[in-house]
Amino acid sequence: MLKAADPAQARAIVTADDLLIAADGGAAHCRALGLVPQFVVGDLDSLAPEQRAGLERAGARFEIHPTQKAETDLELALRVALREGAREVVILAALGARWDQSLANVLLLAHPDFAALNVRLVAGLDTLRLIRGRATLRGMPGDVISFLPLMGDAQGVTLSGLEYPLTNAVLRFGYSTGVSNVLVGQEAVISVRHGLLLAIHTRQA
């Protein structure tokens, strides 16, 4: 079971113009927030029949997949977002008690099929995103930002606007070198010449 999205945070992020896609039981989280997703995607093993009936009456479209499948429900939902023309994706309620599901959800950020999407995974004070090439992260002084290479070493890493800057450095896969950097102003600029860098931005309460 994944944790529900924080209601205040979800309402601050979701707007009326957004395409709202629920991965299976995520539809129940939507209804708890008074939202109706345009699409509900997955095998529906986490959605009660009465919840499904209510969503159908409210106009949600269902894309149902078999329980024995190669993808998680979140991966299937991301494929719907890609198909529907999304360019920016914010994922809520994707981390929880099951380590396998949580880690798989994080690693979907590195899936090559979704390289064209600007995907952020938001959980409380934490925002996770994958950096390919160059990115600017904005926040407040004192925010903690950690950088973890995925799928091998990240080479040519340059960090500015942080307490521990780097210039053309190598962050090695499996090492903890990039953990707990600190934002000194309101933005940090990150560039990676080769490789993938997971940025975990923890805002101050």
Q: Give me the pLDDT at residue 107, please.
A: 96
34-48, 149-163, 187-201: least confidently modelled range: 34-48
29-33, 111-115, 163-167: least confidently modelled range: 29-33
Q: Give me the pLDDT at residue 3, please.
A: 55
Between 1 and 86, where is the model more confident?
A: 86
Q: Give me the pLDDT at residue 98, please.
A: 85
Residue 5 per-residue DSSP state: P
What residue numbers bound the domain in which 169 lies? 129-202
Residue 170 and residue 86 share a domain:
no
- Residue at which a domain ends, from 105, 124, 143: 124
d(CA 82, CA 93): 20
Residues in the chain: 205
- What share of the chain in percent tops pLDDT 90? 77
Residue 91 and residue 21 share a domain:
yes
CB atoms within 10 A of CB 127: 19
d(CA 197, CA 133): 9
Q: Give me the pLDDT at residue 8, please.
A: 80
Residue 6 per-residue DSSP state: P
Residue 163 and residue 67 share a domain:
no
Span 24-29, average pLDDT: 89
